[in-house]
Amino acid sequence: MTYLFPIFIFLFGLAVGSFLNVVIYRLRTQENALKGRSCCPYCHHQLAWFDLIPVVSFLLLGGKCRYCKKNISRQYPIVETATGLLFLLIFLASRDMAQPDNLQLIDFLFLLAISCLLLVIFVYDLKHYIIPNEIVYPAIGIAFAWRIFEVFPIFRLLATRAGETKNWASLAVQALGEGGAFGFPNPLVNGAVAALIASGFFLLLFLASRGKWIGFGDVKLGIFMGLFLGFPNIFVALFFAFLIGAIIGVILMGARKKGLQSEIPFGPFLILGVLIAYLAGEEIAQWYFSSFAL
């Protein structure tokens, strides 16, 4: 039974990843991702359900369209697998998800939603050198909502006890009585200041380089990063983003694939930084402060 949950979460991630591929494609063509059947981008033949099984269809078809035999981008199975693995990772990193209460479930869903948006930004920025507003604004909104949810314990109380009674008004009064209306505003202040510092730093780089080092989309992504990570994790994310970016940049220049002047999108590195900071930020910050600080 305990194995079934992780397997289900992984398979669910594969299916969601398949949808994210559609979102990435249709963001470019400005079609509605929820409307219309999927079709081959080359021959526009409508795809049957058995062409749309994540990863499996790609492997069975040898990476070619069933109808026109053109190569299907490897992006499709890669994004599907990455989504499945990311969902699994979030599930394993969450405590007690075998029998979660409402609160843990809400946190889990928040994280799944954020990881989907970040995956789309990662691939889209890599492909098209732009971070779409349609994705980065919802990411900022969700991170902000998460902080609000954290700051006002009344929401948490309502969420945890929603099953007890249908009388929400009395539940709210009860929560207020337990001092649950206004919590310490620390998480929100923490996130907001981190957002200001990250996006302000990116804005300086953007202005100083006239958009050559960093795009304006990265400035917006900085707002999300700060709200989502807060201190000290935002510094961990920035450190790893610049470190990985520098390493990849040097490798690409060495391979002469990219000259000094050519553009490398920065969004994917920022998102890798977010992932590292989210999974191990506390430990890394603690290690850093105990090793180098007084």
Pick between residue 43 and residue 60 the one whose CB is nearest to Zn ion: 43
**Residue 178 token pair:** 């337990």
* Residue 6 to residues 3, 11, 114, Cα–Cα distance (Å): 6, 9, 19
Distances in Å between the Cα of 223 and the Cα atoms of 26, 160, 206, 234, 239 are: 25, 29, 14, 11, 16
Q: Answer left, alpha or beta for residue 36, where phi above 0 means left and psi between -120 and 50 means alpha.
A: left
Comparing C-alpha atoms, which of 245, 282, 227, 231 is closest to residue 114?
Answer: 227
Q: Which of the stretches 43-51, 132-140, 226-234, 286-294 binds Zn ion when contact is defined by CB under 5 A?
A: 43-51
* Segment contacting Zn ion by CB under 5 A, of 38-46, 127-135, 151-159, 254-262: 38-46
Cis peptide before 232 (omega within 30 of 0): yes
* Residue list 119-178, contact with Zn ion (CB under 5 A): none
CB of 38 to Zn ion, least distance (A): 11
**Shortest reach from residue 17's CB to Zn ion, in Å:** 21
- 22 near Zn ion, judged by CB under 5 A: no
Rule CB under 5 A: say whether 40 interacts with Zn ion.
yes
Q: Considering beta carbons, is residue 52 or 253 the nearer one to Zn ion?
A: 52
Q: Which of 28, 36, 42, 64 is close enough to bind Zn ion by CB under 5 A?
A: 42
Q: Closer CB to Zn ion, residue 38 or residue 81?
A: 38
In this structure, is the dihedral angle defined by the CA atoms of residues 112, 85, 58 and 76, taken in order, positive or negative?
A: positive
Q: Does 188 bind Zn ion (CB under 5 A)?
A: no
- Range 55-84, binding Zn ion (CB under 5 A): 65, 67-68
- Which of 7/60 has CB closer to Zn ion? 60
Q: Give, as one character, the DSSP assignment of residue 261.
A: S
What residues line the site for Zn ion (CB under 5 A)? 40, 42-43, 65, 67-68
